Amino acid sequence: MRLARALVDGAAVSGLVEGETFVPLAGGTSVDDVVRGAQPETDAGRAPLPLADVRLLSPLTRFNRDVLCTGWNYWDHFAESAGKREGQDPRERPRHPTFFTKGPDTVIGPADDVAFDAALSQKWDYEAEVVLVIGRDGRSIPEERAWEHVFGFCIANDVSQRDLQRAHGGQWLKGKSIDDTMPLGPWITTADEVPDPYDLQITCELNGEIMQNASTAQVAFRFERLIAELSRGMTLRAGDVILTGTPSGIGNARDPQVFLNDGDMVVTKVKGLGELRNNVVAVTLT
């Protein structure tokens, strides 16, 4: 099952994506409701719409907390940035997953514009990621039961401001939490529709050039371990989303460096999960 939100006749409507059609749900049921246990029923009084004729929105809007994120979860990405973290390099590979959060006001839809303000930051970077959507509450979840708590998967691009990320004491919150900068979607694919979560190919294209290209088989810490360690003593709630890390190829680690700018087009794809297509557009955020 693939669950999405779309703009239909000027209103946000939740529905199922079936092939190339969007099928509205009945009773005002939202994707957030379904993730939290509501049973989705299609609206018999509304005809399915061609998917190409609707504008998809972020599938989720009701966040329990900040977006949960994982850093350094591909060793090639960890290695590519060695010596480029402006004095914030760890001495060795982390022995446990690295977690941080970003504000939910970062979230935009799969076709929305990424907000860009050069007065705020000079180093806007892309990070293609697979996202886990939690569908069942749990605390101190053992790895062998982790998948019981996963509702499904989607895609995000964790657009980051590297200079802000370095400027505030080594923590990442500020450089990851600028409003209207994280595309999420294009829909949520339920876990039963993903035969092997370690066979998902991730790509990020910038203006038609492939910048990132990797498989989830390359993760440093498997998704089960992320859930187990993150939930240790801390309750995960249905509706929480967990970004699982980005592979190598980020702009900050390139020589010469490559950063996003006004007018750029970023396409984020994950095999079997769809794609995000977002223009970078100058706005005033400061």
Ordered by start, the domain boundaries in the chain are 2-57, 67-282
The CATH number of the structural domain formed by 67-282 is 3.90.850.10
Residues of the chain scoring pLDDT < 50:
none
Name every residue whose Cβ is closer than 8 Å to that of residue 11 and which is 6 or more positions away in sequence: none
Cis peptide before 94 (omega within 30 of 0): no
Predicted confidence at residue 87, as pLDDT, reads 58
The CATH number of the structural domain formed by 2-57 is 2.30.30
Report the DSSP pairing between strands 160-161 and 124-125.
Answer: antiparallel
Q: Tokens 């794609």 map to which residue?
A: 275
Q: Tell me the pLDDT tens digit for each residue of 18-51.
A: 999 999 999 999 999 999 999 999 999 999 999 9
Q: Tell me the pLDDT tens digit for each residue of 142-183.
A: 999 999 999 999 999 999 999 998 888 878 899 999 999 999
The pTM (predicted TM-score) of the whole model is 0.96
Cβ–Cβ under 8 Å, residues 233 and 140: yes
Predicted confidence at residue 169, as pLDDT, reads 80
